């Protein structure tokens, strides 16, 4: 593999932190993880990738809300390097 020439873009993976809460943490088997995704990946692509790991997690993810750096996010939102993604299942109680 050759080094990129000057001015040529390099596809450097984007690293982010995924934090799972409540039932999402139980389904994932842990509360947080570091993940690498391709540049310009969307939240939906990451969620699909996470769900492909385990059917139980996939079921939980379909009901979850997502925050990217504390702001509500949609599946089409792009992910940036250093982002923190919070995976929030529906909460019960009052």
Domain of residue 74, CATH code: 3.10.20.30
Q: Is residue 7 part of a domain?
A: no
**pLDDT the model gives residue 93:** 57
Q: Is residue 28 part of a domain?
A: yes
Q: Is residue 46 part of a domain?
A: yes
**Edge-to-edge strand list for the sheet holding 32-37:** 32-37, 14-20, 84-88, 65-68, 71-72
Q: What is the dihedral of CA 48, 54, 57, 63, to 10 degrees?
A: 50
Q: Is residue 8 part of a domain?
A: no
- The total of structural domains in the chain comes to 1
Q: Is residue 34 within 8 Å of residue 15, measured between CB atoms?
A: yes
Residues of the chain with pLDDT under 50: 1-2
* Helices H / strands E in the chain, number of each: 3, 5
Q: Is residue 94 part of a domain?
A: no
Domain hosting residue 36, numbered range: 14-88
Q: Is residue 42 within 8 Å of residue 78, measured between CB atoms?
A: yes
**pLDDT the model gives residue 90:** 86
- The three-point CA angle 52-22-82 to 5° equals 65
Q: Is residue 93 part of a domain?
A: no
Q: Is residue 55 part of a domain?
A: yes
**pLDDT the model gives residue 92:** 60
**pLDDT the model gives residue 7:** 54
């Amino acid at each position: 593999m050759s080094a990129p020439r000057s001015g040529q873009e390099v596809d450097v993976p984007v690293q982010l932190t995924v934090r799972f809460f409540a039932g999402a943490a139980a389904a994932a088997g842990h509360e947080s993880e570091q993940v690498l995704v391709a540049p310009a990946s969307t939240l939906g692509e990451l969620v699909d990738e996470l769900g492909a790991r385990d059917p139980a997690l996939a079921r939980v993810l379909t009901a979850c809300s997502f925050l990217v750096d504390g702001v509500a996010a949609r599946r089409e939102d792009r992910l940036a390097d250093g982002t923190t993604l919070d995976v929030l299942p529906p909460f019960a109680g009052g």
